[in-house]
Structure 1
Amino acid sequence: MTVTGIITALIVGLIIGALGRLVVPGKQNIPLWLTLVIGVVAALLGTVIARATGVADTKGFDWIELFFQVVLAAIGVALVAGVGGRRRLTR
């Protein structure tokens, strides 16, 4: 993978992670780097799911693939924020 590909993956991951945070209601006390990691993982998994279902090769922008990615990012943010929130309450 080239440096440009890595930078692009990080930017896309940050955008997908931010969209995932916007979808989840309430305040999420998770750091920016964790949002980036969740976004990158969600973007990769969303692309895999879109290709497996056959919707990744559409003409124009892949809205369904973006939907999969944002939903997975929202699930990831909700899970991480929920686990982090519970951990802080028990201390």
Structure 2
Amino acid sequence: MLGLIVTIILVGLIAGALARLIVPGSQDLSIAMTIVLGIIGSFVGGFLGYLFFHKDAADGFLQPAGLIGSVIGAIIVLFIWTRVGGRRSVNG
């Protein structure tokens, strides 16, 4: 169980960091938020992979396509976040 949690955190960190490198613009995210971005991206990538290829975790837990899907999902989530959710204005 501990190995699964560590794997999820590491994949989240890698996917989130790669997404931040690929998506243009400034993202003001901490390391913890980068990990969360990667984990959410993994869910999005896994969902999209299941929709397009009809593969799921029963076909194997850690697959290269899963890692690529995690990065693609994190890019999608980060792009949406920077365009929609990241707008904060301070009225002073």
Provide the TM-score with structure 2 as the length reference.
0.71
State the one-letter code of the partner of 2:70. Answer: Q
- Where 2:25 maps in the other structure, the secondary structure is coil
Instruction: Name 2:64's counterpart in structure 1.
Output: 62
Q: CA deviation at 1:10?
A: 0.5
In the alignment, structure 2 segments of 5+ residues that lack a partner are: none
Tell me the alpha carbon deviations over residues 53-73 of structure 1, each in whole angstroms, 9 at most, x when there is no partner.
235659xx534x434322221
Instruction: Name 2:76's counterpart in structure 1.
Output: 75
Provide the TM-score with structure 1 as the length reference.
0.71
Tell me the alpha carbon deviations over residues 12-34 of structure 1, each in whole angstroms, 9 at most, x when there is no partner.
11101111111101221122211
Distance in 2 between residues matched to 1:14 and 1:3, nearest whole Å: 17
Which 4+ residue blocks in structure 1 deviate beyond 4 angstroms? Answer: 55-58
RMSD: 2.4
How many residues of Structure 1 are paired with residues of Structure 2 in the alignment?
85
In the alignment, structure 1 segments of 5+ residues that lack a partner are: none
Identity of aligned residues (%): 32
Q: How does 1:44-63 map to 2 (within 5 A)?
A: 44-52=43-51, 53-54=53-54, 57=59, 62-63=64-65
